């Protein structure tokens, strides 16, 4: 139970790493300088340390051991003669169903998970997925081994017991690996928190610029009255210059009577 609880916290650690960057972005209104961003991210993702040679060697050895155990188990399951067991039909039917389930897992699900882990050797979800699959295989195969010991031959029991021990050894190694990866991720989270605080402290605190908007309407000017245009002079009459008046007509003199 202790190993399972240690492996279960790996999911929490993975989620915490992704949420850390989101939380940090929400806490700061200022953008992180480009020089600081390049230190922590590549193409928008948190920087990932390269996988060490020791870690890669450990994983490759573990997966090679697991693939060999899978191949041996499939061959040993084919040799079983469950239909010849001296037991009731229900027990035979259940054992055949368990064998079929193990074969389908070893031929389909397990190779797919192994391929995912080879592409991401230190990926915690992929590692935990393999551990859970091994845990399920161990339980079902253990049931088949128990039934074989009760109703099958000693040779079949010995072969399947060796297969079960091989799966158990790989499961333990995977549990230890997940625990080590979880500790490394926790240390990385602590480092990222410290680096993020340093990056935020380096951001200059510039006051925001104030923009004053005058939304009052200007006072309306009174409309300008246009002067009426002068009327044109009648035809045949010379236009009088401005400022001159026309002399009054001469009065006729009265004639004296003769």
**Does some domain include residue 43?**
yes
Higher pLDDT, 145 or 196: 145
Which helix (H) or strand (E) is 42 found in, with range? strand 41-42
pLDDT of residue 21: 44
The domain containing residue 8 runs over which residues?
2-201
**Does some domain include residue 210?**
no
Residue 44 CA to residue 207 CA, distance in Å, equals: 28
**Does some domain include residue 147?**
yes
Rg (CA), the chain: 48
Asked if 38 and 210 touch (Cβ cutoff 8 Å), the reply is no
Asked if 127 and 174 touch (Cβ cutoff 8 Å), the reply is yes
pLDDT digits (tens, 9 = 90+) for 108-149: 999 999 999 999 998 999 999 999 999 999 999 999 999 999
**Does some domain include residue 176?**
yes
**Does some domain include residue 227?**
no
Task: Give mean pLDDT, residues 157-161.
Answer: 96
Reported confidence tier of residue 205, pLDDT bands at 50, 70, 90: low
> Coil, helix or strand for 213?
coil
pLDDT at 237 over 60: no
**Does some domain include residue 233?**
no
CATH number for the domain that contains residue 157: 1.20.120.230
pLDDT digits (tens, 9 = 90+) for 38-89: 443 333 444 456 778 888 999 999 999 999 999 999 999 999 999 999 999 9
**Does some domain include residue 258?**
no
Task: Give mean pLDDT, residues 218-245.
Answer: 60
**Does some domain include residue 36?**
yes
Domain total for the chain? 1
């Amino acid at each position: 139970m202790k190993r399972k609880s240690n492996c279960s916290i790996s999911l929490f650690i993975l989620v915490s790493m992704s949420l850390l960057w989101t939380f940090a972005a929400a806490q700061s209104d200022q953008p992180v300088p480009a020089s600081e961003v390049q230190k922590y991210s590549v193409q928008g993702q948190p920087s990932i340390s390269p996988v060490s040679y020791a870690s890669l060697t450990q994983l490759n050895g573990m997966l090679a051991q697991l693939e060999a155990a899978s191949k041996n188990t499939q061959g040993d399951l084919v040799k079983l003669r469950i239909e010849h067991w001296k037991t009731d039909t229900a027990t035979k039917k259940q054992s055949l169903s368990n064998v079929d389930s193990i074969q389908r897992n070893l031929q389909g699900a397990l190779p797919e998970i192994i391929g995912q882990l080879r592409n991401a050797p230190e990926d915690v979800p992929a590692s935990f997925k393999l551990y859970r699959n091994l845990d399920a295989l161990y339980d079902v195969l253990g049931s088949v081994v128990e039934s074989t010991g009760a109703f099958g031959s000693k040779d079949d029991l010995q072969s399947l017991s060796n297969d079960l021990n091989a799966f158990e050894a790989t499961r333990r190694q995977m549990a230890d690996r997940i625990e080590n990866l979880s500790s490394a991720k926790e240390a990385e989270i602590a480092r990222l928190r410290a680096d993020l605080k340093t990056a935020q402290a380096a951001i200059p605190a510039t006051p925001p610029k104030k923009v004053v908007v005058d939304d009052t309407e200007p006072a309306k000017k009174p409309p300008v009255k246009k002067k009426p245009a002068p009327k044109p002079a009648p035809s045949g009459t010379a236009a009088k210059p401005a400022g001159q008046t026309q002399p009054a007509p001469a009065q006729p003199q009265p004639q004296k009577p003769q």
